[in-house]
């Protein structure tokens, strides 16, 4: 199964283009179901991106179908496969591909897309690991801790002064758009807005230009006065901090992508291991059958002992080659598995059977 992603985002398309292919959750789920067609598909559609993730045996066909579903030709799309596709999703979930690095909303959107998608073993593993990577980045780095807007900076500063805002009653001076956003940020942090007041009958803002509050207020003990420039400076500093943390987050995401690659590579070796076990068991059973004449005098208990001993010998002989195969598949790729197939003559019987059937 190959993982393929086809889509577009704010990096490639302006909002006027993105809105043409944006889907709500229900439509995204329906499109994923239609595209899966016996395979696996997930559609991630947010205001910044619409992406189709497919796991399919034929990556060319998967790309073609996904491209057609996103009106290819009219819209510029990116296409990624295998490890690059996995890494892309991990970066998206970690907020590293967002406008504001580390923004928290994307993780919930990835989860919603995963839950409404048509997942099988590959996409299920891919999306669960992407969600894990997203959480890990937010836990182990400070990428999502600092405020990214003026209103959230104001609320964060209030929290830095007053501590836990839970139960705090806030008097909001001004009733403009910025006040509304600040109120939302404060409420999100546990405060309650007890009153909203305005200087005039018209809507006024406390973060207005010209300023509504005398700058001399800042000199008073216990008063902390921030105007719009001060808040903007806090936001700029916090965004640059997010970019610094993004470098650390990239390392975490790359590690997770490598883990996914190793898991996927280990899938390639499963048929070879099964074939090896089948072949060994068939030799063991065949040799015991040949010796049936000489073993005829054995009691049932002795026969069971012989069965058990021969099985253990086979298992012990196979243990190291199987472990090495799994390790090599993760590090050296499919070439090693092919060598093992050749060395142990795996699949020859299946091929001979197929040839016989074709001859008939």
Partner 1 sequence: MAELLFWPALIAYGEAAVAYAGDARHPGSLGRLATWGVRIGWLVQTALLVVQASRADGFPWDTWAGSLNLFVWLVVGAYLIWGCKPRYRLLGLVVMPLAALLLAISYAAGGAAATGHSGYSTIFLIVHVGLVLAGFAGLTLASALAALYLWEERLLKRHSPRVLKFRAPSLATLDRLVGRTVAVALPLLTLGMAAGFARLRGKSDLDPLIGLTVLAWSVYGAFLVLRYGVGWRGRRAAYTALIGFVLVIALHLGLPTSHFA
| Residue 296 interacting with partner 1 (CB under 8 A) | no
CB of 232 to partner 1, least distance (A): 9
| 255 contributes a contact to partner 1 by CB under 8 A | no
Q: Are 43 and 29 in contact (CB under 8 A)?
A: yes
Asked whether the beta carbons of 13 and 51 are under 8 A apart, the reply is no
Among 192, 194, 197, 236, binds partner 1 (CB under 8 A): 236
Instruction: Pick the closest to residue 326 from 283, 280, 274, 255 (CA basis).
Output: 274
Helix axes 334-344, 300-332, angle to 10 degrees: 150
- Identity of the residue, 209 or 320, whose beta carbon is nearer to partner 1 in the bound complex: 209
Respond yes or no: is residue 47 known to be catalytic: yes
Binding residue for partner 1, selected from 237, 307, 332, 350, defined by CB under 8 A? 237
> Binding pattern to partner 1, positions 129-158, x when CB under 8 A?
------------xx--xxx-----x--xx-
Using the minimum distance from each CB to partner 1, give the nearer residue, 118 or 238: 238
C-alpha distances (whole Å) from 161 to each of 143, 184, 187, 189, 224 are 22, 18, 16, 13, 9
Q: Give the shortest CB-71-to-partner 1 separation in angstroms.
A: 43
Binding of partner 1 by 163 (CB under 8 A): yes
* Residue of 24, 214, 221, 300 that binds partner 1 (CB under 8 A): 221
Of 64-72, 174-182, 232-240, 303-311, the window that binds partner 1 (rule: CB under 8 A) is 232-240
Give the separation between CA 285 and CA 89, rounded to whole angstroms: 48
243 near partner 1 (CB under 8 A): no
- Indicate the residue among 52 and 253 with the shorter CB distance to partner 1: 253
> Is residue 271 a contact partner of residue 327, using CB atoms and an 8 Å limit?
no
Do residues 117 and 29 lie in contact, with contact meaning Cβ atoms separated by under 8 Å?
yes
Is residue 197 a contact partner of residue 173, using CB atoms and an 8 Å limit? yes
300 binds partner 1 (CB under 8 A): no
Residue 180, phi-psi category: left (phi > 0), alpha (psi -120 to 50), beta (remainder): alpha
Structural contact between residues 338 and 329, judged by C-beta atoms closer than 8 angstroms: no
Residues involved in catalysis: 47
- List interacting residues with partner 1 (CB under 8 A): 141-142, 145-147, 153, 156-157, 159-164, 218, 221-222, 224, 226, 230, 233-234, 236-238, 241, 244, 248
């Amino acid at each position: 199964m190959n993982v393929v992603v086809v889509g577009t985002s704010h990096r490639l398309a302006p909002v006027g283009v993105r809105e043409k292919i944006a889907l709500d959750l229900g439509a995204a789920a329906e499109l994923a179901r239609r595209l899966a067609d016996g395979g696996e598909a997930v559609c991630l559609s947010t205001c910044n991106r619409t992406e189709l993730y497919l796991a399919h045996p034929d990556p060319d066909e998967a790309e073609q179908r996904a491209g057609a579903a996103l009106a290819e030709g009219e819209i510029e799309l990116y296409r990624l496969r295998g490890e690059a596709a996995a890494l892309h999703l991990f970066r998206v979930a970690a907020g590293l591909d967002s406008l504001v690095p580390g923004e928290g909303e994307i993780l919930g959107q990835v989860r919603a897309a995963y839950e409404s998608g048509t997942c099988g073993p590959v996409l299920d593993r891919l999306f669960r690991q992407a969600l894990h990577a997203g959480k890990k980045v937010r836990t182990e780095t400070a990428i999502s801790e600092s405020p990214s807007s003026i209103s959230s900076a104001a609320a964060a500063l209030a929290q830095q002064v007053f501590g836990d805002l839970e139960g705090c009653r806030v008097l909001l001076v001004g009733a403009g758009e910025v006040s509304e956003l600040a109120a939302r940020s404060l409420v999100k942090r546990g405060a309650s807005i007890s009153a909203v007041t305005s200087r005039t009958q018209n809507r006024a803002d406390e973060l207005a230009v010209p300023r509504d509050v005398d700058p001399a207020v800042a000199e008073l003990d216990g008063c902390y006065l921030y105007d719009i420039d001060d808040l903007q400076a806090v936001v700029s500093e916090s965004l640059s901090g997010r970019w610094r943390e993004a470098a650390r987050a990239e390392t975490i995401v790359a590690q997770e992508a490598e883990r996914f690659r190793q898991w996927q590579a280990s899938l390639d070796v499963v048929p070879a291991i099964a074939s090896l076990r089948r072949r060994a068991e068939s030799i063991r059973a065949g040799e015991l059958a040949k010796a049936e004449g000489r073993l005829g005098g054995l009691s049932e208990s002795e026969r069971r002992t012989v069965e058990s001993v021969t099985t253990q010998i086979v298992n012990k002989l196979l243990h190291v080659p199987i472990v090495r195969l799994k390790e090599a598949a993760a590090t050296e790729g499919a070439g090693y598995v092919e060598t093992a197939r050749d060395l142990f003559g795996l699949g020859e019987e299946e091929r001979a059977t197929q040839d016989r059937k074709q001859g008939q």
